[in-house]
Amino acid sequence: MLDQSLRTAILELHQKGHGARSIARVLNVSRWAVREVIKSGSAEVPRLARAEKAEPLEAEIRDLLLLCQGNLVRVHEELLGKGGTLSYPALTAFCRRHEIGHEPKKPAGQYHFKPGKEMQHDTSPHHADVGGRKEPVQTASNVLCYSRLLFFQHYPTFNRFFCKIFLQDSAEYSKGVCETCMIDNTHVVVLRGTGREMVPVPEMEAFSTRLGFKFVAHEKGDANRSARVERPFHFIENNFLAGRKFRDFAHLNQEARLWCDKVNAKFRKHIHAIPRELYQQELPHLRPLPIYLPEVYVLHQRIVDIEGYVHVDTHIYSVPYRLIGRQVEVRETKDFVRVFYGPREVAVHEKVLTGKGRRVTEPSHRPPRGQGTFLQDISPDERFLGSEEAPIPAYAAALKKRNSARWPLALRRLAQMRRDYPKDALLSAVKSAAQYGLYDIDRLERMVLRNIAAEYFVFPIDREENEQ
């Protein structure tokens, strides 16, 4: 079939008085085709009027498509079951041409951002060679939309704690933040809703307010809205992580920062500029950071076990042995695990991010060799119970022996019972428990309460009847 340009040329030559034979020879087309164009008198290409097998079944196809929930395979099966002879390719082609079950494609657009207006944050799972083995890592990335300044880091997992660490590091890297931070609808930040209706978690909203930006989310299914941050992930996986080995996560993130410096200083063809130069133009428009940024940490309450350790994220960290049985506050930061007893910091360890169940011991936290059991202070509860009337001291010693690592809690409850309950009711219950070898503190307390109910909550009338 001749295209529109050839048909136009044929008509122009015909108007100039050239014959069909000479026109066909010059344009290298058949004389029959030239005569048909001259006969039609129009340069518009005629549409083929060809009947389609599926045309009589259009109404039935539309009804079946609703019934089969948009599944064309099931529609084809139903048509064949009713005696149809239409092939599956013919059905799908007919549906595409008549836009049955297919929305017409919309043209892709472009987003233009003013300096300091928006930054985009997202994460992507990858694998990295950390410590001699392939480890699954979460790559967190942040991009300033105007200058395309890239910053990314890697973490063993990604939760709100690591999200706050990353966003604060990113803000310090760019020396400021944009007005908004575009995210996908991730549960790390989103409390409820999607897109414009998104409501962030109060914890994350307070964090963003402190740094000076606001979280916004793109509409569900509109992944192109965050293309600035999505595009570099393929580059990170196939360039930065490819063939590189790292000692630990600290080394991995250090190399990632150096790689960001290198990439941000290179010319990029698709923007015809260098991101670092555009960043210098964007920097005056960024919102400045507060004069003081507190260290991001997550708080844990722990009781020091009988060995003098606390457990944090499957790993074990030592504390001074004199704090055995005491409650301490553990602050887990980006690089360290800090232990506080009251307002004082009593231990600091480098945080372990790889492996499971690793034990970290500071030699100064252990007692001198050969004197560990003698130098341990007696707890206040143990000292208090030891000065009480028999058989409480002996029962407390047996309770400590039988409860292994949880003896501080058992002695604390026994001492509290001595302070709260009448002495006679407690002594009677302790004697019975020691006689029968009962060292369950909950059961002992029920025995004490039973004694109290029998001795202290009897009405006078009942007491007189018992005496008679």
**Bridge partners for 215 per DSSP:** 181
pLDDT for 153-179, tens place per residue? 999 999 999 999 999 999 999 999 999
At 10, the pLDDT band (50, 70, 90 cuts) reads: confident
Examine residue 102 and state whether it is found in any structural domain, yes or no. Answer: no
The residue type of 306 is I
Q: Are 391 and 250 found together in one domain?
A: no
Percentage of the residues of the chain whose pLDDT score is greater than 70: 93
Radius of gyration of the chain (CA): 39
Q: What gap in Å lies between CA 445 and CA 423, rounded to an integer? A: 13
Examine residue 264 and state whether it is found in any structural domain, yes or no. Answer: yes
* Domain membership of residue 134 as a residue range: 118-285
What are 427's two structure tokens?
A: 């002594």
Q: Are 190 and 331 found together in one domain?
A: no
Q: Are 221 and 201 found together in one domain?
A: yes
Question: Given a cut of 60, is residue 34 above it in pLDDT?
Answer: yes
Q: Are 187 and 321 found together in one domain?
A: no
Q: Are 250 and 387 found together in one domain?
A: no
Tell me what pLDDT residue 374 has: 43
Percentage of the residues of the chain whose pLDDT score is greater than 90: 41
- Residues 452-465: what's their mean pLDDT? 63
Domain boundary among 309, 336, 368: 368
Q: What gap in Å lies between CA 353 and CA 368, rounded to an integer? A: 30
Q: Are 213 and 234 found together in one domain?
A: yes
Tell me what pLDDT residue 174 has: 94
Q: Are 264 and 186 found together in one domain?
A: yes
pLDDT for 303-341, tens place per residue? 999 889 999 988 999 999 889 889 999 999 998 999 999
Q: Are 279 and 302 found together in one domain?
A: no
Look at residues 4, 41, 8, 6 and name the one whose alpha carbon lies nearest to residue 27: 6
Examine residue 106 and state whether it is found in any structural domain, yes or no. Answer: no
Q: Alpha-carbon dihedral of residues 275, 281, 286, 288, nearest 10 degrees?
A: 110
Q: Are 163 and 267 found together in one domain?
A: yes
What are 423's two structure tokens?
A: 């002495």
Q: Alpha-carbon dihedral of residues 431, 434, 439, 445, nearest 10 degrees?
A: -10
At 266, the pLDDT band (50, 70, 90 cuts) reads: very high
Averaged pLDDT of the chain = 87
Say if residues 124 and 232 touch (Cβ distance below 8 Å). no
Structural domains of the chain, count? 5
Tell me what pLDDT residue 106 has: 72
Tell me what pLDDT residue 287 has: 94
Q: Are 33 and 158 found together in one domain?
A: no
- Residues 185-199: what's their mean pLDDT? 90
Q: What is the DSSP letter of 137?
A: E
Q: Are 349 and 426 found together in one domain?
A: no
Question: Given a cut of 80, is residue 130 above it in pLDDT?
Answer: yes
Examine residue 46 and state whether it is found in any structural domain, yes or no. Answer: no
Domain boundary among 319, 348, 368: 368
Q: Are 167 and 90 found together in one domain?
A: no
Before 89, cis peptide (omega within 30)? Answer: no
